[in-house]
Structures are given as structure tokens and as C-alpha cells.
Amino acid sequence: MSKAISRPKKGPYKPRVMPTDLDELQWLAKKWGADDAVAIKTSEIILDPRVRFKCMVPKCYMSGGCGHCPPNGYSLEQVKQMIDAHDWAIFFRVKVPASIIAAKGLGKFIADGNMDPEGNLFNLGGHYLLTFSITKLLQKTLSEMGYVSRAGFAAGNCRDALCHFQPNCMDLATGSCRHADLSSPSMESCGMNAFKMAACQGWEVYPIGGTCEPESIGGGNLMGLVLIAPENKPGLLESPSTLQHPLPRAQNKGQSLGETLKQKQKEAKRSLEAMKQSQVTPSLLMAMARQRKIWTRFSKNLHELYGSWGKVLAKNHLMFSGQPRNKAQGC
């Protein structure tokens, strides 16, 4: 298949999902960094209420701390309604080396919100970010193909990956997400049994807990899923645009240049304090270099989403901006 893909930006909408388009979507998911991708019928999506409750009993450290994490987010009834209103789905996985996802003591660093000295948590975040970007690229491409996807699902919580240096989830505080263009609920938070679905595809999966050792597993999997339906299929839930404007507009109208510079300096100081609080050190650059393939692919994915490297840099700036948790004022 040629890598030069050209299609109209909008419709005409198709009356059914075409097999050739499903093939292309699987190929694109792999191009964007997925290790495996398959097209499945929505009847193959496995819902189990025990999966969603596992986030709350025993309580996960992020339970209730993110707009997508139970008890927040979509209910099982809403998820079922969304699934029933779609025909197909692209189910994909991003592999994570065992040395990263099962690194010794990583669970405590995650719960404390601090980076480990080896940079494993930082690189684990890179794999999650890649999963989020693949989900959004698939939804964007489906729209360009003439289909609709009212829901895409990624892995884990978006709070840690996208707002690590912020003291709170803005969606919970104000109803407006900082990264609405990139965040997605996880399959697990919506009650999908991703492990069983992966096993049905022949993918090796390992349960990974806080006491897991790298030698005891073959690796980790971050899984995502994007629903597909023709535009005219009845019963689709209404939802916000899957690609809102990626960056906040400037709010410094009427300010002098000096006032703007002082504001930017103050914001930079807060961000540096937040990174210091999370134990961000120069050694993380070496860790990032070890996983440069993941970070490079994520950057290229952002470029495909936003259309310019300037917007990619602005997005990275937004992700690394922050406030110290013990000095937070507002959102």
C-alpha cells in the first residue's frame, strides 16, 4: 500500500463500513506506533461490570481524581449504547518493555506522583501518550474517510500522562478539560475486558501489579479501541468534537509587553517548581534517549493531528506547564 494517502476532508458519507477502509485503518494504526491492530465487530467487545468496579474496590489511587476515572466518566449503560450504535472497531495495542512497566518500586513512584531516578515512569508515560495519539488519529481519519466515531478509548488515566505537573483535573474542577483534543477514557474505566479481548486475538497479556518483577512477565500492553459507524446509522450518541482546538488562546489582551513577560516568567517559575517537586532531573533526558523511537513517533503523530510543528511545540509546552501541588491556587 502506498504511504501517500489522499482522501477528501469530508464525506460523502458511506452507507456501510468498507473492508478496504478497515484494512487501511489497521495499517495506519501500525504506522502510527501500534504493535498490533485488528478490525473487530462491535459484538466482539466484551463488557463486564467487574472491570469498572475494580478501579474502585480496592480503590485505585486515581479513582475519582480524573474526569474519565470511575466513579466519573461514562456509565456502563452509556458505553453499551455507544457500542450498539456502531458496527466495527479498530482494536490495537502498544507494547511496553517489561523493564519499564514492571520496574522495581514503580508503583510507589506512580502513587506519589514522582519520577523514578531511572526514568522508567517518564518513558512509561511516553507509551501512554502514544496510545492517546493513535486513538485520536484514528478518529480524525475516520471523519476524513466519511465515517463517524463517537467514541475512542485508550489506556490508563489521562491525568498522569497529560497533566502530571498540574495539581488537579481541570475537567472535574471546571468542566473544561486542558487536553480535550488528546485525552480519552480507558477501555477499563468503561467496563471493557481488554485482557480477555486481547487473548481472543492471540496477544500475550500479563497481569502487572505493584510487586511484579520484570523477569516474571514477557512485557506489558497498552490497549486502545476506536468505534466505527456510517454517519447515517440511527441511535448514535451526540458528543463533543473529537478534535477541539488543541491550544488555549492567549488571554493577555490589553497587557503591555512588560506585563506579558512578567506573567510568562511567573508561569515558568511555577512550572519549574512543579517539575522539581515531581523529581524531574536532567537524567530523564538520557532515559528519554533510550526510548527515542516512542517519543519521536509521538511527536510525528502530534504533527499529523495539528498540522504544524509550531503547534506541536505549543502542545508540549502545555503538557509540561504546571503548578506545585502544595501551592496550587484554583486550576
The three grid cell numbers given for residue 54, joined into one nine-digit string: 475494580
Classify residue 68: in a domain, yes or no.
yes
pLDDT for the residue numbered 231: 74
- The tally of domains found in the chain comes to 1
Which of the residues in the chain have pLDDT under 70? 1-13, 210, 232-254, 327-331
- At 257-290, the pLDDT tens digits run 777 777 878 888 888 888 888 888 888 888 889 9
Domain membership flag for residue 2: no
In a domain, 11, yes or no: no
Cα–Cα–Cα angle for 152, 156, 159, rounded to 5 degrees: 95
pTM: 0.87
**45 part of a folded domain:** yes
Would you state the pLDDT for residue 33?
A: 97
Nearest CA to 147 among 38, 230, 226?
230
Q: Which residues span the domain enclosing 130?
A: 19-236+256-327
The reply to whether 6 falls in a domain is: no
* Alpha carbons 140 and 236: distance in angstroms, whole number: 17
DSSP per-residue codes, 109-154? HHHHT---TT-HHHHHHHHHHHHHHHHHHHHHHHHHHTEE-S-EEB
Rounded to the nearest angstrom, the gap between the alpha carbon of residue 63 and the centroid of all alpha carbons in its chain is 17
Give the C-alpha separation, 155 to 95, whole Å.
12
Question: Which one, of 270, 305, 244, lies nearest residue 32 by Cα?
Answer: 305
**Would residue 182 count as lying in a domain?**
yes
> Does 56 reside within a domain?
yes
**Residue 240, pLDDT score:** 35
DSSP per position, 257-289: HHHHHHHHHHHHHHHHHHHHHTT--THHHHHHH
Question: Residue 133's closest CA among 73, 184, 68?
Answer: 184
Is residue 130 in some structural domain?
A: yes
